[in-house]
Amino acid sequence: MASYRQGHGEGRFAVAGRRLGRATLVVIAALLILLPIFGPMLAPNDPEYADILTRMQPPSAQYPLGTDAMGRCLFSRLLWGARITLVWSAVIVAAAASIGTLIGLYCGYRRGWVDLVMMRLVEGVSVLPSLAIAVVISSVLGLGLWALVISLIAVHWTGYARLVRNTIVGESGKLYVTAARAMGAPSSRIMLHHLLPNIGSPLLVLATHSMSAMMLSFAGLSYLGLGVEPGVAEWGRIIADGRNHMRTDPRLVVAPGLLIMAIIISLNLIGDALADLWRSGSSIQ
């Protein structure tokens, strides 16, 4: 039974299988990173060039996934869309992670009333449905990519703040922190040079996982018409454009839908693999 064969009891094939799995994940991860860079180069057509005379064409040599209602190449739009959806999701995750980490570090190390207030705020934001808040924020800020980016950062920093804060609370009591403090290191140095490196792994795991959530939110909001301009090749937007013909030509929503699904599953798998790595690493320590 597989469940008894964990750790040292694992068979040779299982180990090989898992390594192969890991290798596959690395390849997928590499492809994901490369998609925004090389995707546009692979695109056979201009993603925004609309030739209405060739609208709603089925897949062909010239248009690998056919054309949409405006006569644009669906395949090229999906490849170009990687640049917007993936890159912006990464930017939002990075920004949310940075803000959350700094707040979490400060609160976890200093504690006191700032911690008390910030954590209540974190809880407050966390219990509300993030997509709904993002809709509210971006409707206040007006339409556009920046409103979308800001609203998503505003609802996604809390997870990092809480994770970092709780980890730091645990770390602060450890010997190396006491030692650093005894040597007269200023708080900022302790936080950034001693504590921060020790929370890198859980942060990376959380970031990878939230990357997939972010892509869904990003695509979801632009599907609702809150993000990018009409006509721009962005995955959520492409689905929104396609839904008007989805009953007659499902290809227009199925293709981008499958692509988003595949990427989100791979991101989650990578996140799980990183989490495993981190856990095995921390148990050795």
Which listed residue (143, 169, 196, 275) binds other proteins by CB under 8 A?
A: 143
Q: Give Cα 38 to chain centroid, integer Å.
A: 20
**48 part of the interface to other proteins, by CB under 8 A:** yes
- Calpha distance 69→56 (Å, rounded): 5
Whose CA is closest to 240, among 21, 36, 69? 69
Which listed residue (49, 136, 261, 282) binds other proteins by CB under 8 A?
A: 49
From residue 111, alpha-carbon distances to 9, 98, 107, 126, 169 in Å are: 44, 19, 5, 20, 8
Which listed residue (17, 230, 250, 281) binds other proteins by CB under 8 A?
A: 230
**126 part of the interface to other proteins, by CB under 8 A:** no
Residues 196-225 that bind other proteins (CB under 8 A): 225
**135 part of the interface to other proteins, by CB under 8 A:** no
Place of tokens 């920046």: 146
Which listed residue (248, 283, 284, 285) binds other proteins by CB under 8 A?
A: 248
**72 part of the interface to other proteins, by CB under 8 A:** yes
**131 part of the interface to other proteins, by CB under 8 A:** no
* Partners of 67 in beta bridges: 73
Select the span of 1-9, 12-20, 64-72, 269-277 touching other proteins (CB under 8 A). 64-72
* Partners of 73 in beta bridges: 67
Task: Read off the tokens for 200.
Answer: 């890198």
Given the rule CB under 8 A, which residues bind other proteins? 48-53, 55, 69-72, 142-144, 225, 229-231, 243-248
